[in-house]
Amino acid sequence: MSKAVVDLARALDFAARKHAHQRRKGHDAQPYVNHLADVARLVAVATEGRDATAVVAALLHDTIEDTDTKPSELTRVFGRRVAAIVAEVTDDRRLPRRVRKRLTSPPVGWPPKRQLEYLEWAAMVVAGCRGVNPWLERQFDAAYRAGLRKLRSSGPA
């Protein structure tokens, strides 16, 4: 039996239960677990399947921030390394919401100007990470261009 496969299944189950009643803020209001699965897929592809711990952490990345999960619970259930990765990507609630909010799907009702500001902010964040993973950069660049096209087709920002 593969420990990595079992760890991934445990993390998916844990995350799905913790986020069971949450929905995405985007137009489709998808189950939140879809976002977690998408992030885990991106990490799995970016690491070429070589880092199961990173994929486990990707599945759990919002548990501390958006559920009643404590860091100590993640440490106990998934180990120190996973808990440390999740803690590293968890928003610092001491910062103002505008600074710390990192949405991947704009909430319904965001005006085009706010959507453009978000795209520009995301581009600045990614600019600071360039050179780490070319595949992820291409994924972001394609999403960024698609977002700009959508905004341009919807009228003035």
Catalytic annotation, pick one of 28, 48, 51, 66: 66
Give which of 53, 61, 14, 67 is closest to 35, Cα–Cα.
Answer: 61
SS3 31: strand
65 catalytic per annotation: yes
State CA 67 to chain mean position distance.
15
120 catalytic per annotation: no
Cα angle 118, 123, 128; round to 5: 130
Catalytic annotation, pick one of 51, 65, 73, 91: 65
Q: How far apart are CA 145 and CA 150, in angstroms?
A: 9
Catalytic positions: 65-66
